[in-house]
Structure 1
Amino acid sequence: MYLGIDLGTSGVKVVLIDEAQAVLETGHATLGVQTPRPGWSEQTPQDWIDATRAAIADLNQPLDKVAGIGLSGQMHGAVCLDASDNVLRPAILWNDGRAADEAIALDADPRFHDITGNLVFAGFTAPKLVWMQQHEPDLFARIRRVLLPKDYLRLWLTGEAISDMSDASGTSWFSPAERDWSDDLLAATGMDRSMMPALAEGSEVAGHLRSDIAAELGLPAGIPVAGGAGDNAATAIGAGITGPGPGLVSLGTSGVIFAATDRFLPAPETAIHAFCHALPGQWHQMGVILSAAGCLEWWSGICGRPAPDLLAELGTDVGQPGRIAFWPYLSGERTPLNNPAQRAGFTGMSGRSDRAQMTRAVLEGVALALAENMAALTAAGGGADSLIAMGGGARSDLWLGMLAQATGVPVLRPAGAETGAGFGAARLALMAATGAGSDAMTPPDIAARFDPDPALLSGWSEALERLQEQRA
C-alpha cells in the first residue's frame, strides 16, 4: 500500500492505494485560513500537522503494510524557520496579496524573467520574503530556512529539509530549465542557497519516515517519502497527464488549466506559469485563477444555502450565457491579469434578477476566466486537445458543460475525480518506493464526457469578449 498526503488550503486529504493503484480509502480533516488584514491569507503550520494526524486517523484500515508516502500541497507559501527549525510567524499563503509592490519591483529586474521563465506574482514566495525584510526586519534576521507548505510536513515526517522541482518552480528563486536554485535570484532578495531546502524529483526518494512519527501514526518506520509535487502537478499525475495531449482543468479553491510539455516553454508575457513537472525531464504550462470553486463557496455563504442546493436550482442545460456577468476575482487575479488588486463583482443585474440567475453567473464567470487561461496557454505554444476535470467543482455536470463551451474542447470527468492531488501523491510514493516509471500510470476511467456544442460556441466567445471589454 502507498499513502498520499495532500495539504490543501481548506483541509488535508489522505489517499491510500494498493499496488495496482486502486484507491482503498480516503481520509480528511479541515483547515481554516486567517485573514488578519484585507488581502492577507495565513495559516499556522502546526495546524497542518494536526490536520494530517486527524486525516490519517480518519482511515479505518491498518497501515502497517504501507510501503511509501507521497506529498502534495498548496504552492508558494512561505514557512520561515529559525536555526532550531522553530516557526517564526504564520505561513503566508499562495493567495496572499500583501507583497504586490515587492513583486512589481522584482519583476522589473529582467533576470527573473530570464531565469525563471515566469512573471513574479505577488503570491509567489520570494516577494513575501522581501516584504518581511521591509516590514518585519527583526523576524527576517532570524530566518535560517524557508520551506514550502508540504515540505514542512516532510520536515516533521523525516527530519529532512527537501523540496521537489515542481513546487520549487513557484518560488521565483528557481530555474526550471536547470532544475536548480538560482544563486543570482536568491542574492537579489537577500537570501542564499543555505536557506533553501535540498532538491529531488517528485518520483525520487526524499527522506525516510522517522521511527517516533511512524509509531505515532501506525506506519512502518523508515519507509521512503517521495519528493512529491505541488498540488497541480500532483493532480496531473493522478490524472495520468505526463506529456502533450489531454490537459487538466482543476476546480478547487483556485482554478487551473494545466498542460504537460516535454520541453521548457516559458512565455512570461502571457502570465502563464512555466514550471517543472513532477517527473524527470518533463515540464508544464499552467494558467491560474485564484478563485474558482471558492467563488461558489463564497456565494453559498452569502445566500445561506449549501452549494449543492444552489446548483440544484439551475438544472443541467448549458445554453447561452445569461445577462448577468460575474468577475471571479475574490482574491485578485493571476493569469492573464497579474493583478492582486483586481476584485470581483456582478454586472448586468436588474430588479428582476434572482438568486438562480446570479448562481449561474458565478459558474459562467469562472468558466470564462478559465477559457482566458486556455487561450493564454495556446498563445504560449502549448495547450491541450481535451481537459480532464478534477477537484470538488468537477462534480457539477452543468459547470463542466459550461467549461466545454467556454474553452471549445471536450471536458472529461474521471471516476474518482475528487481524489486528485492525493492520488497523484500516492502514485509518486509508489514510483519512489519501487523505481517504477511513468509508464506504470494507467489513464483514469472516464465517467462522463462533455463536448462543446458548435451552435453555442459563438455566444460563449462573445460573452468572454464582453467581460474583457468591461474589465478594460
Structure 2
Amino acid sequence: MYLGLDLGTSGLKALLLDADHEVVAVATAPLETSRPAQGWSEQDPAHWIDACKAVLSELQPHLAAVTGIGIAGHMHGVVLVDEAGEVVRPCLLWNDTRASAEAAAMDSNPIFRAVSGTIVFPGFSAPKMAWVRDHEPGLWAQADKVLFPKDYLAYWLTGLMHCEPSDAAGSALFNPARNDWSAELCAAAGLPSDMLPAILPSDQPRGPVRGEIAARFGLNPACVVAGGAGDNAAASLGIGAVNDGEGQVSLGTSGVLLTVNERWTPDADTAVHSFSHAAANRFIQMGVTLTATDSLSWLADAVGDTPGALSDRLPQTSNGPGAVLFLPYLAGERTPHNLDSPQGGFFGLSRNDGALEMTRAVMEGVAFSIADCAQALVQAGARIENLTAVGGGTRSRFWLQTLADVLERPLTLNPNAEHAAALGGARLARAAATGGSVIDVINQAPTPANLERIEPRAETLQDYREALLRYRTLSNAMREL
C-alpha cells in the first residue's frame, strides 16, 4: 500500500491507497494558524509533526503494508532551520503578506519575471526570507537551511533535506526552464544559494523512513518517502491531470484555477503563476485567489456559526445571482490584481439581509474571483479543455453550480475531490516505491466509476454575466481608494 499526506493550512490529511488504486482509509488532524499582526500568518512546524503523529497512529493497523509515502503541502512557506535541523522561528505561510516591500523590490528587477516566469508576490518564499534577514537578523544568523512545509515534514520522516520542482517554482528563486535553483535570482535577492536544499524529481525517492519512525508506527523499514509535490500540483495528479489542457478548480483555503501545459509558456504580466508540475516535463499555469473557503470561515467566525452550517442553509441551486456583492480580498489578492493588502468587503447590503444573503454573496464573490483567474489564464495563452472540481468547498452543491454558471464551463466532480492532493501524494509514493513514473501510475489507474458532471445553466447565463460585470466594476473602484 501507499500513503499520501496532504499538509493543508487547516489540517493534515492522510490517505491509504492499495495496489488496485482503491482508497482504503482516510484520516485527518486539525491545524491552527496564528495571525500576530495585520497581514501576518504563521504556523509552528512542531504542530505539523503532532498532526502527522496523530494520523499515523490512527492508520497504524495498515502501516506495515506501506512501502511508499508521498507528501503534498501548501506552498511558499518558509521554515528556517539551524545546523542541527532545529526550527529557528514559526513558518511564514503562503498567505503572509508582510514582505510586500521586499517583493516589490525584487519584482522591480526584470530578471525575476524573466527567469522565474511569475510576478514576485509578497507570499512567495524569497521575499519572506529577505524579510527575516532584514527584520530579524539574530534569527537569520541562526538559519542554516530553508525548507518548505512539506519538505520539513519529509525531513522529520527521513532525516534528509530535499526539495522538488513543483514547490521550488513558488519560491521566486527557481528556473523552471532549467529545472533547478537559479544562482542569478539568489544573487539578485541577496540570499545565499547554499541555504536551498538539493532538487530531486517529485516521483523519485528521497530515502527511507528513519528507523525510529518505522518502529514507533509499525511502518515497513524499507518504506521510502517520495520527493512529493506542492498542493495544487499534487491535486492535479490526484485527478489525473497530466496532459495539455487538463485542469482543476480548487475550492480550498485559497481558490485556484489551474491547467496543465506540456510547454513552459510564462506570461508574468497577467499575474498567472507558471510553475513546474510534479510530473516530469509538464508545467502548470494557475490563477490564485487567496481566500476561498477561508472567506466562508471568516464569515462563520463573524456571525458565530460554522462554515458547514452556513452552507447547509443554502439551496442546492439558485435561480441566478443575489443582490449583494462580496470582494474576497481578505488577505489581499494575487490573480489578476496582485494586491498586497486586504481590500475585501460587502456591497449592496440592506436592512433585510442577514447571514444567508452574506453566505451566498461570499460564494458568488469567490466564483467571480475565479472567473477573473480564468480570464487571466486565457490571456496568458493557456488551454482550458476540461476542469475537475477539488477541495473541501466541493461539499457545497450551491457553490459548485454557481462556479459552473459563472465560468460557463462544465465541471467534473470526482469522488475523491476532497482528497485529491493526498491521493496525488499516494500516487507519487507508488511511483517512488516501484521505480516507475507518476504518469505511468496515473495511466494504470482505472477511471472512477461515479464521476459527476455539473453543467452551466443557459437560463442563468446572462444574469451571471451582468453580475460579474458589476463585481469587476466594484473591484476596480475599490482598488482606486
TM normalised by structure 1 equals 0.97
1:143 deviates by 1.6
Distance 1:423 1:143 in 2: 33
Residue 421 (structure 1) aligns with? 421
Within 5 Å, give how 1:107-122 maps onto structure 2: 107-122=107-122
1:322 deviates by 1.0
1:455 and 2:455 are equivalent in the alignment: no
Residue 397 (structure 2) aligns with? 397
Residue 129 (structure 1) aligns with? 129
Within 5 Å, give how 1:191-270 maps onto structure 2: 191-270=191-270
Distance 2:359 2:112 in 1: 40
1:38 and 2:42 are equivalent in the alignment: no
Deviations 1:105-125 (A, max 9, x none): 100000000100000000000
* More moved, 375-384 vs 249-258: 375-384
Distance 1:171 1:331 in 2: 19
CA contact (8 A) 2:130 2:191 kept: no
Residue 441 (structure 2) aligns with? 440
1:464 and 2:458 are equivalent in the alignment: no
1:210 deviates by 1.0
Distance 1:180 1:75 in 2: 17
Deviations 1:352-380 (A, max 9, x none): 22321111111100111011101111111
Aligned length: 472
Deviations 1:206-228 (A, max 9, x none): 22211111112221123211111
Is the partner of 1:284 in helix, strand or coil? strand
CA contact (8 A) 1:92 1:128 kept: yes
Distance 1:446 1:417 in 2: 12
Distance 1:450 1:283 in 2: 27
Q: Identity of aligned pairs, percent? A: 44
**Aligned pair in 2 of structure 1 residues 39, 371: CA closer, same or farther (>3 Å)?**
same
Distance 1:265 1:322 in 2: 38
Distance 2:257 2:122 in 1: 20
Unaligned runs of 5+ in 2: 477-481
Deviations 1:174-211 (A, max 9, x none): 00111100001112222233211111111111222111
Residue 326 (structure 1) aligns with? 326
* More moved, 446-455 vs 335-344: 446-455
Residue 375 (structure 2) aligns with? 375
**Aligned pair in 2 of structure 1 residues 245, 318: CA closer, same or farther (>3 Å)?**
farther
* More moved, 429-438 vs 40-49: 429-438
CA contact (8 A) 1:129 1:189 kept: no
Deviations 1:142-201 (A, max 9, x none): 221000000001111111111110000000000011110000111222223321111111
Is the partner of 1:61 in helix, strand or coil? helix
Unaligned runs of 5+ in 1: none
Is the partner of 1:376 in helix, strand or coil? helix
What amino acid sits opposite 1:275 in the alignment? Answer: F
What amino acid sits opposite 2:463 in the alignment? Answer: G
Distance 2:317 2:143 in 1: 54
CA contact (8 A) 2:116 2:172 kept: yes
Deviations 1:46-100 (A, max 9, x none): 1111110001112263311111010110100000111221111111000001001
1:445 deviates by 4.1
**Aligned pair in 2 of structure 1 residues 60, 153: CA closer, same or farther (>3 Å)?**
closer
Distance 1:336 1:470 in 2: 15
1:141 deviates by 2.0
Residue 339 (structure 2) aligns with? 339
What amino acid sits opposite 1:242 in the alignment? Answer: V
Residue 105 (structure 2) aligns with? 105
* More moved, 132-141 vs 40-49: 132-141
* More moved, 447-456 vs 317-326: 447-456
Is the partner of 2:94 in helix, strand or coil? coil
**Aligned pair in 2 of structure 1 residues 243, 125: CA closer, same or farther (>3 Å)?**
same
Distance 2:349 2:62 in 1: 55
Distance 1:31 1:311 in 2: 22
Distance 2:385 2:401 in 1: 16
Deviations 1:332-370 (A, max 9, x none): 111111112132110011112232111111110011101
What amino acid sits opposite 2:441 in the alignment? Answer: A
Is the partner of 1:141 in helix, strand or coil? helix
* More moved, 119-128 vs 307-316: 307-316
1:466 deviates by 1.3
1:314 and 2:318 are equivalent in the alignment: no
Residue 18 (structure 1) aligns with? 18
**Aligned pair in 2 of structure 1 residues 180, 61: CA closer, same or farther (>3 Å)?**
same
1:88 and 2:88 are equivalent in the alignment: yes
CA contact (8 A) 2:75 2:167 kept: yes
Is the partner of 2:412 in helix, strand or coil? strand
Distance 1:251 1:446 in 2: 20
**Aligned pair in 2 of structure 1 residues 210, 148: CA closer, same or farther (>3 Å)?**
same
Distance 1:224 1:319 in 2: 51
CA contact (8 A) 2:324 2:348 kept: yes
Distance 1:362 1:451 in 2: 21
